[in-house]
Amino acid sequence: MSGHSAHNDQGHSEGTTKLYLTVWVILLLLSAVEVFLGYERLPLHLMLSLLMGLSLIKAGMIIAYFMHLRFERASLVWTLLPMWLIVTCLLFVFFPDSFRVAEFRFPK
């Protein structure tokens, strides 16, 4: 077994415990930065951009390492990538519609 990765019977490489602990610590630090930013008085657009960017980085790391996509064949990753893009685009299409809730008149 090499120090960086190990291969199992099916030819998939897997990360080591050290790798997973390193990724976990990075995720923990990114979460701490997000909490810190929550207490800072930053302009709304800057705050949302920073938090969304950090969240996307964390989501990518979780998908890559803890869902083991980092160790899969490239063909599987390229199969899932378009779906991720479609879902993200749909989010941006439907999210502005949620602002209409403020326009609704609720019975008193």
Q: Are strands 13-15 and 5-7 parallel, antiparallel or unpaired?
A: antiparallel
Per DSSP, helices labelled H in the chain are: 17-39, 44-61, 74-94
Structure token pair of residue 47:
């705050």
Average pLDDT over residues 6-35: 81
Distance, in Å, from the CA atom of 22 to the CA atom of 4, rounded to the nearest integer, reads: 13
Q: What is the pLDDT of residue 32?
A: 97
Token pair 């207490």 is found at 39
Please provide the average confidence, as pLDDT, over all residues in the chain.
82
User: Phi/psi of residue 41, each to 5°?
Assistant: -95, 90
User: Mind listing the pLDDT tens digit for each residue in 55-78?
Assistant: 999 998 998 888 877 777 878 778
> Tell me: the pLDDT tens digits for 92-102?
888 888 777 77
Name the residue ranges covered by the structural domains of the chain. Answer: 14-72
> Is the distance from CB of 16 to CB of 3 less than 8 angstroms?
yes
Confidence band of 13 (pLDDT split at 50, 70, 90): low
Between 14 and 55, the higher pLDDT residue: 55
pLDDT-derived band at 3 (thresholds 50, 70, 90) equals very low
